[in-house]
């Protein structure tokens, strides 16, 4: 009897009949997860496996929403595509960006900084005046820069994305979680974007007049040892909520993560942690009631029509 059972067991293994229990043991974090176990507070999100380009998780991925300073990632890509000198000093000029009127900044108008350092504080600390200045000093000028942003988006297949200025202050800078996932997939091939966006802090020296300012990364996760952040950008306006895009590792595989319209100063970071926990353990943990209420009241799908109109 034992012999017959052993033979039968061997047959089942060889034919794959016994595969479910074996697969469950070997797949680990690459196994599909139960989305009912993932709870997030953000209105829209998408997680993509960058090795396979498969979507691991999405929530309202095609709803068009304002993206705030996440816009600056495209701003930086357009600057790099133009192959301008990173050592050239350019003046701080916001005259082309009406959205900058009345917006506070420590950076002095008319002062100069190298294009490399302008890029750094644009990405690392989301400095609006730096982003506007990069566009102002683009070949062909500001209008050509905005056209290049939209042309780049179209070339990447970001068909629901539209830019009207380089900072993200305008509610008319819109996109979707799916489109921004495409942007991240392209951005990871720009080494300078990785270097600058993940810099933790830096003191930069301006000239004419001479002064120095210290800047810190707006993504708190770059300071966490348990996170291996390869590329990142945050964003916030009242209309867009708190936003976060990043390239990192979850379950020992490279992934891109987009989180849009989160409530609270730290909710987008907490959602990133919940998503990672879900990928690696199958469970995400709970979400504060106040964040869930915000999500329910905001109801991104309700704004689909308005966002579509804003993009035109």
The domain limits of the chain are: 40-311
Residue 82's Cβ-count burial label (10 Å; 0-12, 13-18, 19+) is: middle
Token digits of residue 266: 């730290």
For residues 128 and 167, is the Cβ–Cβ distance under 8 A?
A: yes
Bigger pLDDT: 242 or 302? 242
Question: Rg for the chain (alpha carbons), in Å?
Answer: 22
Is the pLDDT assigned to residue 220 strictly greater than 60?
Answer: yes
Alpha-carbon span 136 to 97, nearest angstrom = 9
Alpha-carbon span 30 to 251, nearest angstrom = 7
Task: Characterize 54-67 residue by residue with b for buried, 16 or more Cβ atoms within 10 angstroms of its Cβ, and e for exposed.
Answer: eebbbbbbebbbbb
Report residue 269's pLDDT band, with 50, 70 and 90 as the boundaries: very high
Domain spanning 40-311 has what CATH number?
Answer: 3.40.710.10
For 111-121, the pLDDT digits (tens) are 999 999 999 99
- Selected catalytic residue, list 44, 59, 69, 175: 69
Token digits of residue 117: 């350092």
283 is catalytic: no
For 96-110, the pLDDT digits (tens) are 999 999 999 999 999
72 is catalytic: yes
Bigger pLDDT: 39 or 71? 71
For the chain, strand residue ranges (E) read 44-49, 54-59, 65-66, 89-91, 112-114, 174-175, 201-206, 211-216, 231-237, 241-250, 253-262
Is the pLDDT assigned to residue 7 strictly greater than 50?
Answer: no
For 284-301, the pLDDT digits (tens) are 877 777 767 776 776 655
- Tell me the average pLDDT across 258-282: 92
Alpha-carbon span 35 to 181, nearest angstrom = 19
- Selected catalytic residue, list 126, 181, 256, 284: 126
160 is catalytic: no
Q: Which of 272, 248, 250, 274 is nearest to 29 (CA)?
A: 250
Is the pLDDT assigned to residue 1 strictly greater than 60?
Answer: no
Q: Is 224 a known ligand-binding residue?
A: no
For 149-176, the pLDDT digits (tens) are 999 999 999 999 999 999 999 999 999 9
For residues 204 and 114, is the Cβ–Cβ distance under 8 A?
A: no
Alpha-carbon span 206 to 137, nearest angstrom = 17
Can you give the pLDDT at residue 27?
32
C-alpha dihedral (159, 160, 165, 171), degrees to nearest 10? 180
- pTM for this structure? 0.84
DSSP string, 66-79: E-GGGHHHHHHHHH
Can you give the pLDDT at residue 39?
86
């Amino acid at each position: 009897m034992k012999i017959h059972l052993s033979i039968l067991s061997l047959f089942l293994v060889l034919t794959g009949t016994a595969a479910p229990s074996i697969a469950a043991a070997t797949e680990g974090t690459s196994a599909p997860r139960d989305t009912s176990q993932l709870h997030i507070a953000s209105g829209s999100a998408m997680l993509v496996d960058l090795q396979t380009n498969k979507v691991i998780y999405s929530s309202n991925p095609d709803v068009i929403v304002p993206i705030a300073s996440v816009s600056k990632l495209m701003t930086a890509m357009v600057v790099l595509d133009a192959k301008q000198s990173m050592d050239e000093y350019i003046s701080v000029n916001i005259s082309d960006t009406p959205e900058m009127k009345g917006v506070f900044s420590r950076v002095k108008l008319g002062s100069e900084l190298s294009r490399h350092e302008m890029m750094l504080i644009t990405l690392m600390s989301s400095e609006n005046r730096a982003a506007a200045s990069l566009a102002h000093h683009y070949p062909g000028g500001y209008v050509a820069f905005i056209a290049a942003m939209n042309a780049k988006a179209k070339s990447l297949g970001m068909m629901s994305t539209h830019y009207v200025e380089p900072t993200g202050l305008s509610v008319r800078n819109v996109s979707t979680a799916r489109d921004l996932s495409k942007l991240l997939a392209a951005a990871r091939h720009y080494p300078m974007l990785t270097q600058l966006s993940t810099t933790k802090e830096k003191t930069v020296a301006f000239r004419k007049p001479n002064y120095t300012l210290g800047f810190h990364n707006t993504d708190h996760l770059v300071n966490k040892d348990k996170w291996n952040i390869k590329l990142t950008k945050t964003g916030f306006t009242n209309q867009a909520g708190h936003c976060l895009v990043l390239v990192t590792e979850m379950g020992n595989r490279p992934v891109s993560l987009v989180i849009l319209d989160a409530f609270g100063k730290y909710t987008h970071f907490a959602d990133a942690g919940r998503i990672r926990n879900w990928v690696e353990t199958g469970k995400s943990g709970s979400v504060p009631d106040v964040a869930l209420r915000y999500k329910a009241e905001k109801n991104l799908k309700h704004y689909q029509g308005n966002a579509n109109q804003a993009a035109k």
